[in-house]
């Protein structure tokens, strides 16, 4: 079976009656947890992006608390990658460069402040550097005032 393109899906959704559209959304939410999470964000949390960013930052902080400093670096790497996947998933939901910068900056700040010797691991050091590159790239598309504020925070990292 050939999957339809986004354009084709959009055209078809425009011709579907409202009641059937609701049924399609509910059916879609039953299949994957990510679909349900995205619908939850779009319906309940998209109107207050600042609050959503704070919730994601709290989630990242709570996940970092599960890592013990004395833990084997291998398990710490796995957990940090898991936290980064969670952060990236929430960034995809928002689709906002401001949210991307704020969430990734919080991730890097918590990683650095956690006390884990991530500089000793080439993989973790590269992961950290890659997130800094992503932050700089996302910052380049923001307004100058926001760029300045975020640049001050980035210089601290």
Provide the residue range defining the domain that includes 129: 33-156
Q: Which backbone phi and psi does 112 adopt, to 5 degrees? A: -70, -40
CA-to-CA separations, 67 to 60, 71, 80, 102, 104, in angstroms, rounded: 11, 7, 9, 22, 18
Same domain, 20 and 97: no
**Closest by Cα among 103, 117, 113, 110 to 72:** 117
Q: Are residues 38 and 23 in the same domain?
A: no
Q: What is the pLDDT along the chain (157 residues), one digit of tens a residue?
A: 788 888 988 888 889 899 998 998 888 888 888 989 888 888 888 899 999 999 999 999 999 988 876 667 888 889 999 999 999 999 999 988 999 999 999 999 999 888 788 788 898 899 999 999 998 888 888 777 777 777 777 777 6
Answer yes or no: do 18 and 51 share one domain: no
**Residue 65 and residue 13 share a domain:** no
Number of DSSP helices (H) and strands (E) in the chain, helices first: 8, 0
81 shares its domain with 9: no
> What span, in angstroms and rounded, lies between the C-alpha atoms of 87 and 130?
14
Q: Is the domain of 25 the same as that of 57?
A: no
């Amino acid at each position: 079976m050939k999957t339809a393109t986004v354009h084709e899906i959009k055209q078809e959704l425009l011709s579907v009656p409202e009641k059937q559209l609701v049924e399609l959304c509910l059916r879609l939410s039953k299949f994957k947890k990510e679909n349900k999470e995205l619908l939850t964000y779009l319906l309940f949390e998209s109107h207050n992006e600042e609050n959503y960013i704070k919730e994601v930052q709290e989630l990242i902080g709570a996940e970092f608390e599960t890592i013990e400093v004395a833990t084997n670096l291998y398990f710490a790497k796995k957990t940090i990658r898991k936290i980064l996947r969670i952060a990236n998933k929430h960034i995809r939901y928002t689709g906002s460069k401001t949210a991307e910068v704020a969430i990734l900056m919080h991730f890097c700040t918590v990683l650095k402040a956690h006390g884990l010797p991530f500089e000793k691991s080439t993989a973790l050091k590269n992961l950290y550097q890659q997130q800094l590159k992503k932050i700089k790239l996302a910052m380049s598309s923001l307004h100058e005032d926001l760029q300045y504020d975020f640049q001050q925070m980035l210089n601290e990292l």
